[in-house]
Chains A and B, each alone.
Chain A
Amino acid sequence: QKEVEQNSGPLSVPEGAIASLNCTYSDRGSQSFFWYRQYSGKSPELIMFIYSNGDKEDGRFTAQLNKASQYVSLLIRDSQPSDSATYLCAVNRGNRDDKIIFGKGTRLHILP
């Protein structure tokens, strides 16, 4: 089982709708979880991080974490064409294991 798994997509969502991106991880000891956005030919940029169970909201973005199910998701409300990108989930184990492991990303396409 891969450490961090994401559906590669593409995920097509109409403009104005909610985009839902999912990520599962294999290491139950993982402590910190990140969502990065990457436009084609560019470097990744951080959208959000979460480390406690539940929801964390920042503008149009909401990260959801369920450690019991080893599942983290990103919701994008009122999707805009500029949200079209690849979204990378990343996980850090903590406990002096300082590696940050990325999933292969989900391509999101917002339909105008």
Chain B
Amino acid sequence: NAGVTQTPKFRILKIGQSMTLQCTQDMNHNYMYWYRQDPGMGLKLIYYSVGAGITDKGEVPNGYNVSRSTTEDFPLRLELAAPSQTSVYFCASSYSSGSGNTIYFGEGSWLTVV
């Protein structure tokens, strides 16, 4: 049972480059999330999705884009990478957002922009 799988695990980008962080889940969860975590800080919600074809902005969406064409996949696109986007990125999923519905996290993607 793979759960939530993120790729790549580590990446170094140059300023101005673009890239996509891939996320897939095999639990048939409706809800998917992208968070970023800066050193010593908590998780900040970038984007989330409540189902295929539906996405919405979180707390810190600027500089990112997402799509949700299937239930399983929720890629995060970074356009024109900036040093401020250096962070650990976590993809997560849950059946719903309510009580008792655990959020399952991927292992994280460490991104450095230089």
Contact = CB atoms under 8 A, between A and B. Distances in A.
A4 B106 CA distance: 23
Contacts of B90: 43-44
Contacts of A50: 99
Nearest to B42: A104
Interface residues of A, number: 26
Contact of A104 (B31, B35, B41, B50): B41
Given A43-B108, A51-B99, A94-B98, A102 B42 contact: yes
Contact of B33 (A31, A46, A100): A100
A92 B92 CA distance: 15
Contacts, number: 65
Interface residues of B, number: 26
B98 A43 contact: no
Contacts of A61: none
Interface string A69-107: 000000000000000000010101010001111111100
Given A42-B108, A44-B43, A98-B50, 19 more contacts: A6-B42, A31-B98, A44-B103, A44-B105, A45-B105, A46-B103, A49-B102, A51-B99, A88-B43, A90-B103, A94-B97, A98-B31, A99-B48, A99-B56, A99-B58, A99-B59, A99-B97, A102-B45, A105-B42
